[in-house]
Amino acid sequence: ESGPKELHIFFFPHLAHGHMIPTIDMARLFARQHSVKTTIICTPLNAPLVSKVIERDSQHGIEISVRIVKFPSIEAGLPEGCENLGSTTSPEMFNNFYKALGLLQQPLEQLLEECRPNCLVADVMFPWATEVASKFGIPRLIFHGTSYFAFCVFHSLRCYELLNTLSEFESFIVPGIPDQIKMTKSQQPSYFRGVDNELTKLTNLSVQSEQTSYGVLVNSFNELEPAYSEHYRKFIVKKAWSIGPVSLCNKDIEDKALRGNIASIAAYECLRWLEMKNPNSVLYICFGSKFVFPASQLLEIAKGLEAAGKHFIWVMKEEENINNQEKQEWLLEGFEKRVEGKGLIIKGWAPQALILDHNAIGGFMTHCGWNSVLESVTNGVPMITWPLYAEQFYNEKLVTDVLKIGVSIGAQECSRSIDARKFILKKEDIERYVNRLMVGEEAEEMRSKAKALKEMARKAVEEGGSSNSDLNALIQELRSL
């Protein structure tokens, strides 16, 4: 035999930034291995997210292809151009978006027929992909996009049916998991709170496909949540590979700047600003790729930041700047000028990987999307946790109660952005949390724990590290099939 058997792996991410970004990193991680070719499937409007990164990789001899499938917006009752979960602005659009995902089955089959890959890595949001893969006689791996911890809590609560017996704010201990974790029903994702929609249906189907698929890829590393990666493999899914943090495959500035398709010029400006600040002195504030706060909350955040007086970088999504005139005037003219030098406001997309990597960053106010949490850990940055919806409340618990590298703002019930508007955190509280995270003994303790995790993360992906070994073992297994 001459070299190892050539592998071709298909990656089919859910069409949301929080799923596409780690999937791209993951595909690159595989493609860097000897004799592995990867293809990422996406839709026309999501393609730019992938193409620049891939172009850069191809200059280094790494082979990643992109295949485009048409997104059935119109067929699913969505406006044309709505191809990313982030562009849905109402519960109805949100629902239709998940319907549209189901319509991608046929185009996927066509692509598989054409390209005949050896393996399909498809997002957990495509439960039917397991059957599709089996038609072609290839293994389907699930990509979750969240922590072991979150999935352990999720499965535990499904099994025990405990939630049905509780009222909204009654607290309970999550049964059957390694730690004593206290939660309330109001912190549960919408599908656990009786919301009947496409996402709930999909979630139920995805549990079944978790059992029937070949295995699960997890963007985490065993040392981060050892008890939970073990628990998951023992009780939930036998075959799981920890291959994260996948964001660590972005090594240089250009790599990190390109993540999420940001213009590198903005990234360099941001870096220049950070260069002038002391280590651990800047708070980074970002609530993920799509969440938009109401004006009243933005004002409280702005006042709280100003009162706390710490340096900060605050990312606002575009809609936040154009929705409401009062907010725009206050924020852009008054606030931005007053905090000049102290605070940098980024409108739209921020080079998060680059920012969190800078040693001037000393804290991250985050919505606890898994990618954000993991990127914070990877860079040794403690957090103010402000979960909004989905499994973010679980990730919060991992950060604050298990890892002890975060301060919780005590967020409660929300079910996606529309309802999340009910909860407004006041200026005084924001000021208090910022100070707790950035200065004092507790802050130092959290920071040193976070720095230790950063080292573990780096070791995990190095040659011989746990994630690197899992990746190699998986590739070997796939070759042997």
Candidates 15, 21, 41, 54; binder of ligand UDP (CB under 6 A) is: 21
Q: Are 26 and 11 spatial neighbours (Cβ–Cβ below 8 Å)?
A: yes
Instruction: Verify binding: residue 349, ligand UDP, rule CB under 6 A.
Output: yes
Length of the chain, in residues = 481
Residue 264 in tokens: 């590198």
Candidates 123, 320, 357, 375; binder of ligand UDP (CB under 6 A) is: 375
Instruction: Verify binding: residue 289, ligand UDP, rule CB under 6 A.
Output: yes
Helix (H/G/I), strand (E/B), else coil: 13: coil
Q: Are 316 and 346 spatial neighbours (Cβ–Cβ below 8 Å)?
A: yes
Instruction: Verify binding: residue 18, ligand UDP, rule CB under 6 A.
Output: yes
CA-angle at 266, arms to 261 and 271, nearest 5° = 115
d(Cα 30, Cα 35) in Å, to the nearest integer? 10
Helix (H/G/I), strand (E/B), else coil: 36: strand
Candidates 371, 378, 400, 467; binder of ligand UDP (CB under 6 A) is: 371
Q: Which residues are catalytic?
A: 19, 123
Contacts of 200 (CB under 8 A, 6+ apart): 190, 191
d(Cα 37, Cα 30) in Å, to the nearest integer? 8
d(Cα 109, Cα 129) in Å, to the nearest integer? 9
Please give the helix or strand (H or E) that residue 129 lies within, else none.
helix 129-135
* Total of chain residues touching ligand UDP, rule CB under 6 A: 20
Task: Identify the CA nearest to 301 among candidates 433, 446, 442.
Answer: 433
Instruction: Verify binding: residue 290, ligand UDP, rule CB under 6 A.
Output: yes
d(Cα 449, Cα 444) in Å, to the nearest integer? 9
Residue window 311-330: x/- pattern of binding to ligand UDP, with contact defined by CB under 6 A: ----x---------------
Please give the helix or strand (H or E) that residue 182 lies within, else none.
strand 182-184
Candidates 41-49, 155-163, 366-374, 452-460: pick the segment binding ligand UDP (CB under 6 A).
366-374
Instruction: Verify binding: residue 344, ligand UDP, rule CB under 6 A.
Output: no
Candidates 298-306, 363-371, 422-430, 468-476: pick the segment binding ligand UDP (CB under 6 A).
363-371
Candidates 125-133, 283-291, 448-456, 464-472: pick the segment binding ligand UDP (CB under 6 A).
283-291
Residue window 242-271: x/- pattern of binding to ligand UDP, with contact defined by CB under 6 A: -----------------xx-----------
Q: How many Cα atoms within 13 Å fall on the side-chain side of residue 143?
A: 27
Instruction: Verify binding: residue 217, ligand UDP, rule CB under 6 A.
Output: no
Query: Looking at beta carbons only, is 7 or 217 nearer to ligand UDP?
Result: 217
Candidates 64, 132, 270, 353; binder of ligand UDP (CB under 6 A) is: 353
Instruction: Verify binding: residue 126, ligand UDP, rule CB under 6 A.
Output: no
CB of 368 to ligand UDP, least distance (A): 8
Residues at the contact surface with ligand UDP, assessed by CB under 6 A: 16-18, 21, 259-260, 286, 288-290, 315, 349-350, 352-353, 369-372, 375
